[in-house]
Amino acid sequence: MTPNRENEEMISGRKLLTIVIVSAMVLMLQLAVIAADKPAGNVLRLDCAGQIDIPQKDTVVGVTAFLSSEQNVGGFSLGFQYTGEGINVKEVTPTENLPKAGQFIVNVDSSNHTVLVGWVDFTGQMPIPKSSDLEVFTINFGVPQGAKAQHVTIDSTFIEPAGHWVFSLKDGGSGKPSFINCEGAAITIGKPAATKEN
């Protein structure tokens, strides 16, 4: 078997594994929705980077997510959409606050400027404990050398097959978390020209 053929089979295997894991996560989260929704006390907050100078070399800038819930969380599915000319998500890194027994899942679609972030406890025994403002992951944006002065924004979005934002609660039910977004831009690069108001 040629090296190229082996590489193609490895890539196909990874894609298949990702599809299987995402499908299993979606199924678990949908089963949780059968019980009554319990949205109170569920919050996802973004801590944004603020302003940076136009970089002299390729740079990575992180936007960190914090989770709050009044109950143990057995899984979550969160879709984001971002804007930015020449800006893309390089990776999403989990923190040590996510139990290692769970599966962390990321699907970046650079062409549509979206990223799906999920985590699920397949064991049912190691949920994210109820917490307030627990740091859970960081979305790392690649800002290229000499990037255009601009505002990079991020917002919640619906991404198939996962659907709407959801926390799957360990004790049953699910909740669509409230979203505390950045005040203004997630990242401001250089000094963008002020937009004219009509």
CA dihedral 86, 90, 95, 100 (to 10 degrees): 150
Which pLDDT value is given to residue 2? Answer: 54
Percent of the chain with pLDDT over 70: 78
Which pLDDT value is given to residue 1? Answer: 57
Mean pLDDT, residues 134-155 taken together: 97
Q: Which residues pair with 120 in a beta bridge?
A: 75, 103
Residue written as tokens 């819930």?
69
Task: List, for residues 22-49, the tens digit of each pLDDT value.
Answer: 445 544 444 443 333 444 589 999 999 9
Distance, CA of 142 to CA of 51 (rounded, Å): 15
Task: List, for residues 79-116, the tens digit of each pLDDT value.
Answer: 999 999 999 999 999 999 999 889 999 999 999 999 99
Which residue did the predictor score with more confidence, 39 or 55? 55
Which pLDDT value is given to residue 195? Answer: 60
- pTM, full prediction: 0.78
Q: What is the Cα Rg of the chain in Å?
A: 18
The domain over range 3-189 is classified in CATH as 2.20.25.90: no
* Positive or negative torsion for Cα 113, 179, 121, 137: positive
Distance, CA of 122 to CA of 101 (rounded, Å): 8
State the average pLDDT for the chain.
Answer: 83
Percent of the chain with pLDDT over 90: 63
Compute the C-alpha angle 98/171/121, nearest 5°: 30
| Residue 25, burial from CB neighbour count under 10 angstroms (0-12, 13-18, 19+) | buried
